[in-house]
Amino acid sequence: MSDAAAAVQHHGPPQGFLRKYVFSLDHKVIGKQYYGLALVAVFTGMFLSWLMRFHLVWPNAAIPGLQWLSRVGAPGGVMTPEYYLSLLTMHGTLMVFFVLTNAPFAAFGNYFLPIQIGAEDMAFPRFNMMSFWTTFAAFLALMTAFFIPDGPPISGWTAYAPLSAVGPDAGPGLGWGQNCWAISIALFCVASLLGSLNFIATTLDLRAKGMTLMRMPICTWAWFITSCIALLAFAVLLPACLLLILDRIAGTSFFIPAGLVVSDRLQPHAGGSPLLWQHLFWFFGHPEVYIAILPAMGIVSHILINSMRKPLLSHKVVIGSMLSIGFLSYMVWGHHMFLSGMNPFSALVFSFPTLIITIPATVLTLIWLGSLYGSNLQITTASLFSLGFISMFVSGGVSGFFLAQPSIDIYLHATYFVVGHFHLVMGVAAIFGIFAGTYFWFPKMTGRMMNETLGKIHFWFTFVGAYCIFMPFHYLGLAGNVRRYSSFVDDFMAPLMPVHKFITIAALFTGAVQLVFLFNLIYSRFKGAPAPDNPWNATSLEWTIPSPPPWDNFGGKHPVVYHDPYQYGVEGASADFIMQTSPEKLPEKS
Amino acid sequence: MATTVHEPPKIDPAPLQPSLGGNGGGGVNLPLARDGELRELMERPPEPVRTGIWVGLAAITMMFAAFTSALIVRQGSAVDWEHLALPRILYLNTAILLLSSLTLESARRKVASFVRGQGATRGQAMQVLASTLGLGLVFVAGQYVAWLQLRSKGLYIATNPNSSFFYVLTAVHAIHVLGGLGGLLLVTRRFARTVPTLRKSTLDAAAYYWHFMGILWVYLMFVLWLKL
pLDDT reading at B39 higher than 50: no
CATH superfamily of B51-76+90-225: Cytochrome c oxidase, subunit III, four-helix bundle (1.20.120.80)
Say whether B59 and A254 touch across the interface (CB within 8 A): no
Q: Are strands A261-262 and A265-266 parallel, antiparallel or unpaired?
A: antiparallel
Residue A226 has a CB neighbour count (10 Å cut-off) of 30
Domain assignment of residue A503, yes or no: yes
Q: Are strands A577-578 and A567-568 parallel, antiparallel or unpaired?
A: antiparallel
Calculate the alpha carbon distances from A245 to A92, B75, B106 in Å. Answer: 20, 20, 41
- Domain of A552, CATH number, reads 1.20.210.10
Say whether B63 and A239 touch across the interface (CB within 8 A): yes
Domain assignment of residue A252, yes or no: yes
Q: Enumerate the residues of chain B whose CB falls inside 8 A of the CB of residue A244.
A: none
Q: What percent of chain A has pLDDT over 70?
A: 98
Digit-coded pLDDT (tens) for A407-417: 999 999 999 99
pLDDT confidence of residue B40: 39
Domain assignment of residue A122, yes or no: yes
The answer, for B151 touching chain A at a CB cutoff of 8 Å, is no
Domain assignment of residue A575, yes or no: no
Pair A560, A210: CB distance under 8 Å: yes
Say whether A231 and B38 touch across the interface (CB within 8 A): no
Average pLDDT over residues B147-155: 94
Domain span including residue A420: 27-256+271-531+542-559
Domain assignment of residue A577, yes or no: no
Q: Enumerate the residues of chain B whose CB falls inside 8 A of the CB of residue A235.
A: 59-60, 62-63, 66
Give me chain B's average pLDDT, please: 83
pLDDT confidence of residue B185: 96
Domain boundaries, chain B: 51-76+90-225
Average pLDDT over residues B128-141: 97
Give me chain A's average pLDDT, please: 93
pLDDT reading at A179 higher than 70: yes
Average pLDDT over residues A562-583: 92
Domain assignment of residue A589, yes or no: no
Number of domains in chain A: 1
Calculate the alpha carbon distances from A186 to A191, A272, A559, B147 in Å. Answer: 9, 21, 39, 25
State whether residue B62 is helix, strand or coil.
helix
pLDDT reading at A197 higher than 50: yes
Q: In chain B, positions 37-66, which contact chain A (CB-CB < 8 Å)?
A: 38-52, 55-56, 58-60, 62-63, 65-66
Calculate the alpha carbon distances from A17 to A20, A111, A126 in Å. Answer: 5, 20, 17
Domain assignment of residue A564, yes or no: no
User: CA nearest B166 in A: which residue?
Assistant: A252
pLDDT confidence of residue A522: 97
Length of chain A: 590
Domain assignment of residue A132, yes or no: yes
Digit-coded pLDDT (tens) for B49-96: 999 999 999 999 999 999 999 999 998 877 778 888 899 999 999 999
State whether residue A236 is helix, strand or coil.
helix
pLDDT confidence of residue B83: 84
Q: In chain A, positions 370-389, which contact chain B (CB-CB < 8 Å)?
A: none
Average pLDDT over residues A296-315: 96
**Least confident among A222-231, A318-327, A484-493:** A484-493
pLDDT reading at B43 higher than 50: no
